[in-house]
C-alpha cells in the first residue's frame, strides 16, 4: 500500500503532469462551486414558487444543481484546455491577454451558447454579464480609461444611482407593457 501511495505522490508532484492536474482541478472546483451555489438557490426557489409533490420538487432541485455544477465544470475544463493549447502553440510559449478572451469565448459558446437555453444557463450567463458590465464601467473610469479625467469624478459618483434607477425603471416598464419578454423566474417573483 505504501508503494502505491508513493507512486501516486510521485505522479501528482511531477511537473510534467501539472497542466493536466490544473485542468482536473478546474473541473472539480467548477463542479463543487456550481453545486454549492445552485443547491440553496434551487431549494428556496422551488419551495417558494413551484407546486408538486415533495419528490417532484427534490428532483427539480437536484436536476438544476447537477446542471449548474456540470456546466461550470465543463466550462472550466474547456477554458483551461484552450489556455494550455494556446500557450503551447504561441510563438512566445506563454500566456497572453488575447488567450484568456479566446479561451473564454470558446468555452462560453460550447457550454452556454449552443443548444436549448435552460433557465440555469440563462441565469449563469446573465449573472456573468452583469458583473462584466460593472467591471467594464469601473475600468472605464480608472486612470487611463475611456473617461477623460475632468469627468471621471462625476461619472464615478453618479454611475451607480443612474444604473440602479434605469435597471428598475426598465424592468417595471417591461413588466407592465411587455411581460412576455421577461425571464419567467423574474416575472414569477414580481407577480408574487
pLDDT over 90 (residue 183)? no
C-alpha cell at 105: 469565448
Can you give the pTM of this predicted structure? 0.81
Dihedral sign of CA atoms 179, 182, 185, 191 in order: negative
pLDDT over 90 (residue 116)? no
The band of 65, judged by pLDDT with boundaries at 50, 70 and 90, is very high
CB-count exposure of residue 76 (10 Å: 0-12, 13-18, 19+): buried
* CB 112 within 8 Å of CB 125: yes
Cβ count within 10 A of residue 149: 10
Half-sphere exposure of 121 (CA within 13 A, CB side): 15
pLDDT of residue 188: 82
What are the C-alpha distances in Å from 138 to residues 36, 43, 156? 28, 34, 8
Q: What are the pLDDT digits (tens) for 6-40?
A: 888 888 788 888 899 999 999 999 999 999 999 99
Mean pLDDT, to the nearest integer, of 123-144? 86
Q: What are the pLDDT digits (tens) for 148-169?
A: 877 878 878 888 888 899 999 9
* pLDDT, greater one: 75 or 133: 75
pLDDT over 80 (residue 145)? no
Mean pLDDT, to the nearest integer, of 78-101? 92
Mean residue pLDDT across the chain: 90
C-alpha cell at 151: 469627468
What is residue 118's DSSP assignment? -
* pLDDT, greater one: 107 or 90: 107
Amino acid at each position: 500500500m505504501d508503494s502505491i501511495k508513493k507512486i501516486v505522490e510521485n505522479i501528482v508532484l511531477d511537473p510534467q503532469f501539472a497542466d493536466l492536474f490544473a485542468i482536473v482541478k478546474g473541473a472539480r472546483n467548477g463542479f463543487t462551486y456550481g453545486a454549492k451555489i445552485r443547491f440553496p438557490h434551487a431549494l428556496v426557489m422551488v419551495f417558494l414558487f413551484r407546486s408538486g409533490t415533495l419528490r417532484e420538487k427534490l428532483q427539480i432541485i437536484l436536476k438544476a444543481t447537477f446542471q449548474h455544477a456540470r456546466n461550470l465544470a465543463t466550462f472550466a475544463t474547456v477554458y483551461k484546455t484552450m489556455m494550455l493549447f494556446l500557450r503551447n502553440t504561441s510563438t512566445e510559449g506563454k500566456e497572453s491577454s488575447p488567450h484568456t478572451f479566446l479561451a473564454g469565448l470558446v468555452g462560453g459558446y460550447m457550454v452556454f451558447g449552443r443548444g436549448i437555453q435552460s433557465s440555469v444557463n440563462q441565469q449563469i450567463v446573465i449573472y456573468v454579464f452583469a458583473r462584466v458590465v460593472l467591471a467594464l464601467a469601473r475600468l472605464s473610469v480608472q486612470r487611463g480609461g475611456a473617461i477623460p479625467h475632468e469627468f471621471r469624478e462625476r461619472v464615478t459618483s453618479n454611475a451607480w444611482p443612474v444604473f440602479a434607477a434605469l435597471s428598475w425603471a426598465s424592468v417595471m416598464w417591461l413588466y407592465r407593457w411587455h411581460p412576455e419578454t421577461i425571464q419567467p423566474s423574474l416575472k414569477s417573483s414580481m407577480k408574487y
